[in-house]
């Protein structure tokens, strides 16, 4: 059985994700086989917040080559999590959003 910590791999920390923290929107890299309800439950369990919606996006891996050999980097899945208005913010991100 998958735990919440198996589903949420890491936060995505980019300029675009920093800008959306003020609106209580957070971006996480999640397991490729995780669905929206599992992601919602995992975020609520780990951070103790109320999630309003979850949008997901699969990012295909890039083609890389070295000499004649070519391959692909692993694909990832991102989850855009929006918190409810009455929910508290995620403490992990509080010092980062200025």
pLDDT tens for each residue of 4-37: 999 999 999 999 999 999 899 999 999 999 999 9
pLDDT in tens, 28-64: 999 999 999 999 999 999 999 999 999 999 999 999 9
pTM: 0.87
Which of 58, 57, 78 is closest to 8 using CA atoms? 78
User: Cα(68)–Cα(32) distance, rounded to whole angstroms?
Assistant: 29
- pLDDT of residue 2 exceeding 90, the answer is no
> Is the distance from CB of 84 to CB of 50 less than 8 angstroms?
yes
> Is the distance from CB of 30 to CB of 40 less than 8 angstroms?
no
Domains and CATH numbers, the chain: 4-84 (3.30.70.330)
């Amino acid at each position: 059985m998958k735990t919440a910590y198996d589903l949420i791999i890491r936060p995505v920390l980019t300029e675009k994700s920093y800008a959306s923290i003020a609106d209580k929107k957070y971006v996480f890299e999640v397991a490729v086989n995780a669905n929206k309800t599992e992601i919602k439950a995992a975020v609520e369990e780990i951070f103790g917040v109320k999630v309003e919606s979850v949008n997901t996006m699969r990012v295909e891996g890039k083609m890389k080559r070295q000499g004649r050999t070519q391959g692909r980097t692993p694909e990832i899945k991102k989850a855009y999590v929006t918190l409810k208005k009455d929910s508290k913010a995620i403490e992990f991100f509080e010092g980062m959003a200025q």
